[in-house]
Amino acid sequence: MWFFALFLIIPLIEIALFIQVGGLIGLFPTLAFVVLTAITGSMLIRRQGAREMANLRSSFENLNDPTEPLAHGAMILFSGALLITPGFFTDAVGFALLVPPVRNAVFKWAKSRAHVTHFQMGSAQSTEPQRQYPNDTVIDGEFENLGDTKKPTHEPSGWTRH
């Protein structure tokens, strides 16, 4: 029911804002403003998305909880979807989600409403005993050299070098 209300109310808000802003500053400045916000938003999203990907990689490398960088990345992605959607209300919400303190507040609110029943980092526990391997770089294996028995079935096309 909430999604239906959002899909009904948000376009009505956008239409009303387009009418008001278009009447105030004119058609072409309104359209230019919408295009400018999409371009600016895409540049900001690229920069902040790269920063959050680095934070996510760092949390994986340090074996930290990746929940917060994942949530921030998801909010930046959602912000990008809002910013490329034409409209003033969606642009305002999209730019708000690009502000880190706003994302932190949204993350804390979502975290307070979530109930985690189980969390495990690392590999799942198995019933087999774990084998300890030495810190060698030698890998034992077998191979068989088949040679060059494959013959080409067609002539080269001339577009590639063989």
What pLDDT sits at residue 150?
65
What pLDDT sits at residue 118?
72
Which tokens hold the place of 149? 């028995």
Going by C-alpha positions, the residue among 33, 4, 7, 3 that lies closest to residue 18 is 33
Collect all residues with Cβ–Cβ distance below 8 Å to 83 and sequence separation of at least 6. 37, 38, 41, 42, 45, 90, 91, 94, 95
pLDDT in single tens digits along all 162 residues of the chain? 888 888 899 989 999 998 999 899 998 999 899 899 889 888 889 999 899 999 899 988 888 888 889 999 999 999 988 988 888 999 999 999 999 999 999 999 998 988 877 766 655 555 555 555 566 666 777 877 776 666 667 676 677 665
What pLDDT sits at residue 95?
92
* pTM score above 0.75: no
The Cα 76–Cα 46 span in angstroms is 9
